[in-house]
Structure 1
Amino acid sequence: MFYPFLQDSGWALFIGRFHPVLVHLPIGFLFIAALLEIGRRTGKISVSESAISFILLWSAVGATLACIAGYLLSLGGGYEQELLDDHKWQGIGVAAFAWIAWAVKSDLLGKRIPFGPAFYLPALGLATILTMTAGHDGGSLTHGEGYLTQYTPEPFRSLAGIPPMAEPVTEVKPIANVEEAIVYKDIVQPILEMRCVQCHNASKQKGDLRMDQLALLLKGGKGGPALISGKSAESDMIKRCLLPEDDDNHMPPKGKPQLSNEQITLLSWWIDQGASADKKVAELKKTEAVKMALASLGSGGSGPVVKNMESAIAGLKVEPADEKDIEALRKAGLIVNNLSLDQNLIEVSAVNASGFNDKQLDLLMAVSDQIAWLKLGGTKITDEGMKAISKLKNLNKIHLEHTAVTDAGIVSLKDLPHLQYINLVDTKISDAGLRNIASLKSLRSVYVWKSAVTDSAVSQVGRQYPQLSVVNGFNEAAVATFVKAGGDTLQTAEIKK
């Protein structure tokens, strides 16, 4: 009766997840004990037997606790059974031999065990060896079979009889003729191998689900079918991708590389079109969003898609600003730069005026036609000030990061015809605010990192407005694009998460 209770209890997994922490205790203690024993017997160091006995006691205790936590963790399922059994018995062996080594070494029991000293070195040696083999299998259970030896270099690889290294899938390779590509083999399978197979393969089956073969993917796992042919919105593998990243059911798990909007779009499209194993792209119906996602495959569709976008103000020309008005801005601590001499457009930046506030926005009205880029990050601007900013009819780019702007204020920008870029990093903007501005036809890039916007909203907006790039986190490519977008040319860049 106790076993079913553990399987259904959250306590089992709570305690079980401490296994990776606890398992390091016996590893450290056993190797210290072995090294001290070698040093003592070779005369290199002087250490008492009671000290080694004390270390062995804690190695045995640690190994026992690790075994208990490991067993509870295994109740959650998702592991290859034979490998799990090997790992389990190796762990039990470590604990058993550690207890034997301690018992024959201790003052309390050592003298009471017949031929005790004869068991000591074999028990200590076996406990140490089993620690290494259990660690190998534990790594394979967690990260997939062969994890520890995956990157063995030559010539050791050949000498150990390990097969040649398989090149890991880190990107979807460019497709020369997308229309002739087989959707599952050339598009879907590479995406799954890159983002999903690490946790759903022959040796590691989280949720009893395998995604390394189409038949097994269609079969599903412990939670039922992974996909429902023709219904991506009802398919578990898509719904989980769209959950907030900090949700326990979100896939891939938090901290792992996530699927891009294009990748989710393509997986959803494949499911909606029947999840065929052999149909080509040309044989399936395609929406505009799918066409854009497929277009990215021509240059590799694995990660951030970087595109040069023509500026909405590239052909715009206005009258020059009055120098007195420019000087007034500079006296207020603002930096004013020319963006294009022949267009008379300017950039106004409050990078050195963190105290700039709503009342001072009136200074901008005198040059409202000329302002194309406005940098107000880290200032005192609030929702009230957004009403004034909405009068900058030629505004193309605005930085509002680290300000008090909320959904109520950002909606004021909806009528700006040339606005392509908005930086809302570290603001109170939520999903509602993002959806409000996403419909802006000219908008191409929105940065919402560290805001209240959720990953699920980012994914949903990305699918609804494929021309819009919403960045909700930074990697090297995103940082590069972020810097470029704040540079000194009228050409903007777009990056999709």
Structure 2
Amino acid sequence: MRTWKTLLYNLAFAANTLLLFFVLAEQWVVIPSWLQVAGRMHPLLLHFPIVLLLLLLIFEWMPQARNNSDGMDLLWLGTLNLTVFSALFGWILSREEGYGSDAVTLHKWGGVFLSLFALVWYHLRKWMQSRRIPLSVSSALMIVGLILTGHQGAVLTHGDDFLLAPVKGTESSPPVAFEDAIVYDHVIQPILEAKCVSCHNSSKAKGELVMETAASLLRGGKNGLLWDTTAKEYGLLLQRVHLPLNHKEHMPPKGKPQLSDEEIAILYHWIKSGSSMDGKLADLPETDSLRLLTASLFVSGEEAVYAFSPASESVIEKLNSHYRIVQPIAAESPALEVNYFGASQFKPEELKDLLQIKEQLVHLNLNRMPVTDEDLELLKQFPNLRNLNLSFSGITDKALPVLKQLPSLRELSLSGTAVTTAGLSSNPIPVKSLYCWSTGVKPEDVPTLQKAWGETRLETGFAGDTILIQLNPPIVQNDEQIFSQPFELKLKHFVQGADLRYTLDGSEPDSLQSPVYKGPITISKSTQVKARAFKKGWISSATVSRQFFGTGGKPDSIRLLTAPDPSYKGSGAQTLIDEVKGDGNFRSGKWLGYKDKDLEVQVEFKEPRNLQILSVSTLVGVGSYIMPPKEIQVWGAEQDGKPQLVAKEIPRQHTMDTVQYQKIYSVKLPEKKYKQLKIIVKHLPVLPSWHPGKGTPGWVFVDELFFE
């Protein structure tokens, strides 16, 4: 028994020492892939010590349990080992990609506290057994530690407020009118929150992917962007969704709530249509698949709660014909809409047939039907009629007093009819929207009419003579970005008579001072070209920008003085002079990545070379912890000998998250002939306090060096 006690105690003490060392020195510790298996056992192991610690708290208050000294000692020692190894495995798991938030930090240190606190308790338990106050305080600390640590773990796996959600309740969002529904905010984001965000949030960014906001979605994750309308299956998101459920890359993972077929279809049509983040559902064409799939999720206009019972199916079937369609406005709704087709077959007396569904009739479309003022008297018998379309019918101002008596009317279309400004002004109807284009209402009458109709939204049609259209940006016809010989820059525009104005110094072109493009321009050195199009009567275009990199030739030799991270080693030193620009995917093999050390590279020339500028091409992805360099230093030697610091650049750091982009830093060198250069690109050693990974090192990625 003594041997077992000694063995278990020494194991617990050594493991706690190792745990404390790891959490204090974690930025220097590298976890091999085979050890990650132990880390993934953390969720399996952690439940045992939680139960045992609570059980021990109970036993410590029971004298009869404390009398069994050997049994209690073994139970304590076993619990100590389970606790510390659960904390150790959790720390290993936290070192995987995607864990870097405050919740992980609190959960990690909570586990360390519980493990060390339990070890101290074991040493002092004999002393505390006869002292109620220390025992009470220790018990309270243990319970609070277990609750807080467990809660932070639940936040990582189930989201914020998982523990208190049942008592806090949920706040239901107010119903959204179809006319106000934003496709992303009210359709796409709720799907992602329900099925994706639990694993892809700022606390637990699996695959370095955060799906909480539109900006983080557009940024993508470690495997690149989530969608691409030119790619197979429109990109990564839909590819993962359509994988077999048992496939390891299927999303959501097996065991998590899965996307329904309807939700997958909604995501597909949203991506296919351009994945707009601010477009309205009502702006989509009426036959658009995305609109048809989601329209039933919203109410039309103000919230509609219909107290009436549905009409008989036999009545609806009887009313349907080749020229009249009667159908529910939405699935399982008792409200009905009626559409008429074929003006030559329309008979006004057939409107009386609709009295069989007078309670259920909500939308009535009589567009282009030969309806007269007298025919509308019947409509006063439809108490729930909300939407009435009389466009291009035969009604006049005489029908307006009748329409004013419809108690539930909310949307009225009179476009293309003979109504006049005078008639409408004297008979304002309390509706939400009035469509009156192609009528007797003239543009100059609209202010008067709007005053009479109050808050009603008036749709009077499009007046193109007062609209200015924005020009498209100019087109840069040159494909090459890197050049060793001077070349001719070519710009063009498809609108005849548009002036193309440009700059070659990175400044913004204007319509007065910037030169006008009249033909090819010779580019002989690294240049940032900006151009805009201007034309009288048009809004000037957005600016098009293109960076061209001149190279005075490759150095005769290049070698890395510090090795890049093994995951981002590219083609070694040759990556920096292969004249192949990297793209937005930092895992493409075209980048060198550094985190725990600075990039240091030495280049040499057989013959001294006259250099004026060194350009360093970098990638910045704040959400992926890839920051601008802290500093760029250039050390140079004119002949064989020890290089001296000749120039440096301190890039501006970000103060908030931003989209991923590429950035070229050009360092001006003292003009002389260099035999040798040493370039140091420093990574940011500690991410700022506003960053989710605050306190950890930032990455720096470089793909090319240019010598001019």
TM-score (norm 2): 0.34
Larger gyration radius, structure 1 or structure 2: 2
Higher helix share: 1
TM-score (norm 1): 0.48
